[in-house]
Chain A
């Protein structure tokens, strides 16, 4: 069964450094998402992406963040100048249909980001 994959599983970085989190969505899916979950807290929406552009973003997704689909398979989240409070689990998700609001999102296993 196809799965969303994410690399790395754990990323440790120093405050102020840039990190790139990578995701490979399921191949025929059209919508892509990034979420984060700070330890012990709720899952928070960051951004949705469709047709090579951001569809919607939350207040969390400020200029520090960017997303890109550099090729036909990868979907990346870049965090510039990381802060301690960026430490969280970052989940990528994808969904197959155009109607994102009624579609099943398949989550990847997550990347745990630790900012020291």
Chain B
């Protein structure tokens, strides 16, 4: 079973601060990495995808990938109360068509 590990949290940050979410994965051949946001009782919503080592920025979100360390992270700058949710890390299988999710990190942004 391929594993995707995340700190379950909860992680609390004040409004305007940077939230840092981390994820490690066990399958060295994974090529695609995803961050989803899931509000309570709702379905996952894709925030970022990253495929190459380094950083990828999209608005207030930055994903960082280090394949050698099998580590992917998500930074949320200028955190807003609306960012309060569970953040799911997902990676794909070596065949590309199966996806493994972590248990998620619960983030609370305090106004």
Contact = CB atoms under 8 A, between A and B. Distances in A.
Given A56-B95, A101-B92, A102-B51, A45 B43 contact: no
B98 A58 contact: yes
Given A102-B32, A104-B46, A110-B43, A55 B88 contact: no
Contacts of A56: 93, 95, 97-98
Given A43-B88, A107-B45, A110-B43, A101 B97 contact: yes
Interface centre among A56, A104, A108 (most CB of B within 10 A): A56
Contacts of A106: 46
B42 interface: yes
Contact of A99 (B95, B96, B99, B102): B96
Size category of the B interface is: 20 to 34
Contacts of B102: 42
A54 to B, nearest CB: 10
Contacts of B99: 33, 45, 105
Contacts, number: 56
Interface in B47-61: 49, 51
B101 A43 contact: yes
A100 interface: yes
Residue from the set A43, A59, A91, A105 with the largest chain B CB neighbour count within 10 Å: A43
B71 interface: no
Given A99-B96, A102-B51, A44 B101 contact: yes
Interface string A25-68: 00000010100000001111100101000011111000000000
Interface of B: 1, 31-32, 42-46, 49, 51, 88, 90, 92-93, 95-104
The 3 closest A-B pairs by CB, nearest first: A101-B96, A107-B43, A43-B101
Given A58-B98, A101-B96, A107-B43, 20 more contacts: A31-B97, A42-B101, A42-B102, A42-B104, A43-B44, A43-B88, A43-B101, A45-B98, A56-B93, A56-B95, A56-B98, A59-B1, A101-B32, A101-B97, A102-B31, A102-B96, A104-B46, A106-B46, A107-B45, A108-B43
